[in-house]
Amino acid sequence: MTPDGLPNHYTRREVLAAGAGAAGALALGGYGLSRFWPDSGEARPDFVLRAQPETIELGGRKASTWTFGHGVPGPELRLKQGERVRIRVENALPEETTIHWHGINLENAMDGVPGVTQAPIPPGGSFLYDFVPPDAGTYFFHPHVGTQLDRGLYGALIVEPRLETLAYDREATLILDDWLDGIAGTPAQALARLRSGGMQMGGMSGMKGMGGMGGMDMSGTPTPGSYLTASGQESAWGSLPGLANLLQQGQLDAGDIRYPLYLINGRPPEDHASVQVRRGERLRLRVINAASDTLFSLAVDDHSLTVVASDGHEVVPTRTDALVIGMGERFDVLLDASRPGAHRIVASALGKGGRAVAILRYLGASRSRAPAANAPTARRARVVSYADLRTVEPAVRSAGAREVDLPLGMDMHKPYRWTLGGQAFPKAAEIAIARGEVVRFVLENSTMMPHPMHLHGHVFRPVGVGPHAPAKDTITVSPMQTTAVEFVADNPGGWMFHCHNAYHAEAGMMRVVQVAA
């Protein structure tokens, strides 16, 4: 822990100790240690994560939730690129779970998807994840069962490169989240309400555009507002600043759930997390959107940001004032610390009227105060779009891809049923792909809600933004827009492709992509 309580620097030993301590305490409650530490001579894991119920404190409120035993978020796990890691996940929850290593292109059996890559871990059981992360960068981990992602079961997963090419003096991780668990019921109850059509934003709202605008591509339509393009122009629908403007103006559906709290590193604005920096330093921020139903825009008062990686993968450094970040997406940015004082890091819950706030504090400026959490932010902010980001890797060919149409929609005849390619998981066919095939997924969003679409086990690149399109694993598809992504299916196995809105995925917006061995 840092003096501010930021759980940014767990060492392997601390995490192990934490896991062992929790296991010891729980052994009294009926979970025998021998169950988790068999005398089989099995190699000792590098990390132990024990999923368990815990009561946490959020700005003075008590919330009973599920965590890895030391509050929210879970520990930050730091791996080394190309080096094998063994992570034992112990399940002290009252229901089945698994852990998915979001964005890591690992071997299929370690991907953590119940019924597809492994049997779920039963209550009292455990599973040893054992893999080699091939790429460096910023990732995260979370369960892949039900709506467990919307509890406190997530943490940052940082893969340190063999050779660091970025120059910076210190780093901090910022995990964004929308929170209701233990304060406004549970995620499972929220889903049940959506299914019974009883929630204010649920039911058919996602389809309100179907009558007039269904299928219409509104790309290019100007969307005046406080978010500008990266070059400072008025933005258009189809770009990330355009999406942010329409969400903020209430012209689109921002999500299905109203949350009482938004968090950065598990802390609400009234009990904020802090990041410390020294004047003249260059700070690397790893920003992860671990929310279940909320897109954020993130900016730091009085500082501009330089994007250096998107979903873990390096991009040509690109200036921006703010990031628009969908659920499951990550951005790494550099910040030059040149304005001593205390400044807010504000993550606005787009279209939901709330925000998460942390403080950037310069060492030696302990008396400066940042503006109030809810005070206005800069009137205008430039925002990078996917088309502004350029990979640092060599250009990729784009000819000869097989197109697979996977429209994003809703089944109007069922109470809360989201679809992908017209089918709702689990009653959905597998998408069969030959090994090595180049595939293009065409994602036509005919709903009024943005959907961050995530593919397991591979990286894809957005199509139509040039040969230097950035490598990503999650991409936000704006309402009434069509986004295509392309990838080389080079990792055999059954891989999920789904919306990273936890409620949409659980309500059907998910498919299995089967890459032949």
Select the residue interacting with ligand C2O from 78, 88, 100, 355 (CB under 6 A).
100
C-alpha distances (whole Å) from 488 to each of 347, 431, 473, 479 are 34, 14, 12, 26
Q: Is 498 in the site for Cu ion (CB under 5 A)?
A: no
170: nearest Cα among 269, 272, 281, 85:
281
Residues in the interface with Cu ion (CB under 5 A) total: 4
**Conformational region of residue 462, where left means phi above 0, alpha means psi within -120 to 50, and beta covers everything else:** beta
* Bridging pattern class, strands 61-67 and 47-58: antiparallel
Least gap, CB of 142 to ligand C2O (angstroms): 6
CB count within 10 Å of CB 438 equals 18
- Residue linked to tokens 């409620």: 503
Least gap, CB of 452 to ligand C2O (angstroms): 10
511 binding partner (options ligand C2O, Cu ion, none; Cβ < 5 to 8 Å by kind): none
Nearer to ligand C2O, 297 or 501 (CB): 501
Q: Is 328 in the site for ligand C2O (CB under 6 A)?
A: yes
Q: Is 244 in the site for ligand C2O (CB under 6 A)?
A: no
Binding-residue pattern over the window 442 to 471 for Cu ion, x denoting contact by CB under 5 A = ---------x--------------------
Select the residue interacting with Cu ion from 273, 499, 513, 515 (CB under 5 A).
499
> Which residues, numbered 421-460, are part of the site for ligand C2O (CB under 6 A)?
454, 456
Q: Is 102 in the site for ligand C2O (CB under 6 A)?
A: yes
- Residue linked to tokens 């008396």: 367
Return the CA Rg of the chain. 22
Question: Three-state SS for 213?
Answer: helix
Distance (Å, whole) CA 101 – CA 456: 9
Least gap, CB of 97 to ligand C2O (angstroms): 14
Q: Among 3-11, 33-41, 68-76, 492-500, which window interacts with ligand C2O (CB under 6 A)?
A: 492-500
Nearer to ligand C2O, 73 or 328 (CB): 328
Q: Among 250-258, 322-330, 338-346, 493-501, which window interacts with Cu ion (CB under 5 A)?
A: 493-501
Instruction: Check: CB of residue 9 under 8 Å from CB of residue 1.
Output: yes
Type of residue found at 321 = D
Residue 73: asked if its preceding bond is cis (omega within 30°), the reply is yes
100 binding partner (options Cu ion, ligand C2O, none; Cβ < 5 to 8 Å by kind): ligand C2O
Round to the nearest angstrom and report the end-to-end CA distance of the chain. 43
Distance (Å, whole) CA 404 – CA 384: 28
496 binding partner (options Cu ion, ligand C2O, none; Cβ < 5 to 8 Å by kind): ligand C2O
Site residues (CB under 5 A) for Cu ion?
A: 451, 499, 501, 504
Site residues (CB under 6 A) for ligand C2O?
A: 100, 102, 142, 144, 328, 454, 456, 496, 498, 500
